[in-house]
Amino acid sequence: MKLCDTCNELFDDDKDLCPVDSVRLADAGKSPFIGKYIDDRYRILAFLGQGSMGAVFRALDETTSRQMAIKLLHGSRVADPNSRRRFLREAKTISSLNHPNIVKLFHYGLLGEEQPYIVTEFLKGESLARRIRDKGHISLDEALPIMRQVLSAVAEAHRAKIIHRDLKPENIVLENEIVKVLDFGVAKLMFERNEQSGSLTMDGKVCGSPGYMSPEQCRGEELDIRSDVYSLGVTIFEMLTGKRPFYADDVMGLMFMHVNRPPPSMNAIRVDLPFPNGLEAAVRKSLSKTKFERQANAEELLDDIEMALSKFEKKKDSAAVASSGWIPFDDASTKAVHMALKDSQFAITTPQEVLNIPESQLREDTAHAEQASGKKDILSAGSKHRFNVFVFTLVSAFLMFSALKLVFPEQPPPALSTVEELITQGRTAEALQMLDKIKRQKLKPQEQTYVDDLLFNLGVRLAQAKNYQGAADSLLRVSKNSEHFAKATNLGKRYRKLSEN
């Protein structure tokens, strides 16, 4: 069969042009479902592909004239009444997801008694997998908005207690600037629960794609949302480097590596693409072998990535300012200088204004200035000269002071240096006591920020060492004005509960 993409009509294979629109016909594929109706509403137009979950078709919703995607899922799992009820219950839950980066599930049902189907929006973009193949890897600037949208979508599903179970670049579609995540919960629709292990299986196979499966998924254990965090880590790793963290000759070898091998560094995989240390740490944490050591959900992974890149951008901006030699003036300083020199014989202009003055005008202004100065008495000229020298000295002193502050930034107080030494030596209790004493002093804003950063980083480090009591004590000391306060408070409460168990 052949399909006209303009009028959505099907024609026999012997036709090349649509008799109605005179446009070239496209191959609709070979399937007995083409041209048939589903639920007396969706007319199947073309066969799009076959996957492990079933066949995918392009269809037309006759009630809205909107193109849709229909997935006819393998029916062997809904042969009994209990399985059919489970399919309908899970599909209803998934259809409740409403997020701009999640492909919407509009309709679901059963053809006859054993053929499940789902109807979703039809996408015309390319998969992230194709983009990675075409480009070799995705640059950090291009990858960041993709990561934000994907993680935002998965976070929404996690809040609804829905686990994707099969996150990978093939299930992420890019439509211009919009990113869509496909197949939320479809794995759970198709795989039945093993009552002994709690895992999902189909025909003896564990649910998931081996290249992106978490260690617990490889072991066939019951999953929670942290399994998705691991799959997201693999996806981000591949997107940025062009390679997955693990490769093997067979599926069992690959699953063994997920369970036992530590992931390589992204910087080691691509020495030509230096990644910020904070980003490297966030991705490495998401790939932890133990789910308790990963980010708790997709939202926390996004927070870690955003924080890492924010600090990286601040460092780049500071380095750019320092290397340029330019000392920035705020509006108040600029106004003060202009007012001080307002009545002097020298005019303050911007560099651009100087460049725009014609050479003839400069010569004319110079001649007028010399003629006017010759008519003034010596005493008056001397007074103005002394005034200009005074103003010039004042401005020079201001510039020198600003330059010294830029070149020699304020160092933390000696006591904070001592705290750092204590932390390095592992004497965290003494470090926290000293930080308490320092916080009772009247600190400058930059000193308070420094203290809060120390407390936050110390808490994270202690949590990684599974010292949950120490981590909670450190994180809950972060001040309310800190950018880390909300996250530190949430983590601190969580680690306190873990320490009490």
Three-class secondary structure of residue 208 per DSSP:
coil
432 has a pLDDT exceeding 60? yes
Distance CA 483, CA 489 (A): 11
Helices (runs of H) and strands (runs of E) counted in the chain: 19, 15
pLDDT at 183: 83
Average of per-residue pLDDT across 135-140: 94
Q: Which residues pair with 46 in a beta bridge?
A: 58
Strands 200-202 and 205-206: antiparallel
Q: Which H or E run contains 44? A: strand 42-50
What mean pLDDT comes out for the span 163-170? 92
* Burial per residue of 411-437, b for 16 or more beta-carbon CB atoms within 10 angstroms, e otherwise: ebbeebeebeebbeeeebeebbebbee
- Name, of 28-42, 61-75, 284-298, 468-482, the range with top average pLDDT: 284-298
d(CA 25, CA 449): 65
Spell out the domains of the chain, with CATH numbers in brackets.
Answer: 31-121 (3.30.200.20), 126-320 (1.10.510.10), 331-407 (no CATH), 414-500 (1.25.40)
CA 403 to chain centroid, in Å, comes to: 37
CB count in 10 Å sphere of residue 194: 13
What string of H, E and C letters represents the secondary structure of 64-95?
CCEEEEEEEECHHHHCCHHHHHHHHHHHHHHH
Please state the rounded mean pLDDT for residues 325-344: 47
- What six digits make up the tokens of 421? 């030494």
Mean pLDDT of all residues belonging to the chain: 76
* Residue keyed to tokens 């639920």: 39
pLDDT higher at 430 or 371: 430
What integer is the mean pLDDT of 11-30?
68
Pull the structure tokens for residue 191: 């795989």
Q: What are phi and psi of 363, to 5 degrees?
A: -65, -40
The Cα angle at residue 264 between residues 261 and 266, in degrees rounded to 5: 155
- Residue 434: predicted pLDDT: 81
Amino acid found at 322? A
Q: Are 206 and 218 in contact (CB under 8 A)?
A: yes
The tens digit of pLDDT for each residue in 55-107 reads 889 999 999 999 999 988 765 555 667 777 777 777 888 888 889 999 988 99
> Which residues are part of the catalytic machinery?
166
Q: Which residue has the higher pLDDT, 421 or 402?
A: 421
CA 242 to chain centre: 17
pLDDT of residue 20: 63
The CA distance from 90 to 188, in Å, is 8
In which band, very low, low, confident or very high, does the pLDDT at 29 lie, cut at 50, 70 and 90?
A: low
Enter the pTM of the model.
Answer: 0.58
d(CA 138, CA 132): 6
Report the alpha-carbon distance of residue 317 to residue 101 in Å, rounded.
32
CB 474 within 8 A of CB 432: yes
| pLDDT of amino acid 100 | 93
CA distance 152 to 143: 14
DSSP 62: T
Closest CA to 94 of 42, 157, 179: 157
What is the tens place of the pLDDT at every residue in 360-375? 554 555 555 445 445 4
Q: Distance between CA 369 and CA 371 in Å, rounded?
A: 6
97 three-state secondary structure: coil
Those residues whose C-beta lies under 8 Å from the C-beta of residue 417, and which sit 6 or more positions away, are none
pLDDT band at residue 314 using 50, 70 and 90 as cut-offs: low
pLDDT digits (tens, 9 = 90+) for 400-410: 655 544 444 44
Q: How far apart are CA 423 and CA 425, in angstroms?
A: 5
- Tell the burial category of 263 from Cβ atoms under 10 Å away from its Cβ (0-12, 13-18, 19+): buried
pLDDT level of residue 377 (50, 70, 90 thresholds): very low
